Amino acid sequence: MQFKFAVFAILICALVLSCTATYISAAPSLSLSWYKDNGYGMGNDIGGYFTVNTNVSPDVVYVEFYVDDELQLNDTVAPFSWSLNTGNFTDGTHTIKAVAYDSIGETAIAEAQRNFVEYSMNFLIIVFVIVVVVLAVSLVAALVWAKKKEAKRKS
């Protein structure tokens, strides 16, 4: 009798297991990288045009891009990326966030903080003038040194 009960119990368990679908799913993966299109940056300070690129798992169907929790783009075509112009935002620290979604609605989030800066034209002109002056002085010094060396060689 115990043997029949054990066989019956095993059959019931096998039936339950075969009728129960077990789904194993993993959340999508997401990481960000930055490409400087026509911008400048040092450390977390950035200004100008950048492309925010994603590296996602194959199950991702779309990625949303945010600045300070305000949706900027919903990209539905891989490879998922966003063209960012820091001039469209106020100067200061901002949080750039991307949210990747897979086909069953699971998400992955990647965030980065960047300080949006804008250098004025006056600042850029001053830097340019300083660079030109330093190069000119270096050139004159090299020419004077070469002439002295030539004169010394002739005497």
Interval 33-86: pLDDT, tens: 999 998 888 888 999 999 999 999 999 999 999 999 999 999 999 999 999 999
Q: What is the pTM of this model?
A: 0.64
Give the pLDDT band of residue 155 (cuts 50, 70, 90): confident
Domain that holds residue 138: 120-150
- Least Cα distance to 108 among 44, 52, 61, 51 occurs for 61
115 and 55 fall within a common domain: yes
- In terms of domains, do 55 and 111 share one? yes
Residue 27: the pLDDT is 84
Structure tokens at 80: 């998922």
List the CATH number of the domain containing 111. 2.60.40.10
Same domain, 105 and 128: no
Q: Are residues 89 and 42 in the same domain?
A: yes
Distance CA 41, CA 5 (A): 74
Residue pLDDT, tens place only, 138-149: 888 888 888 888
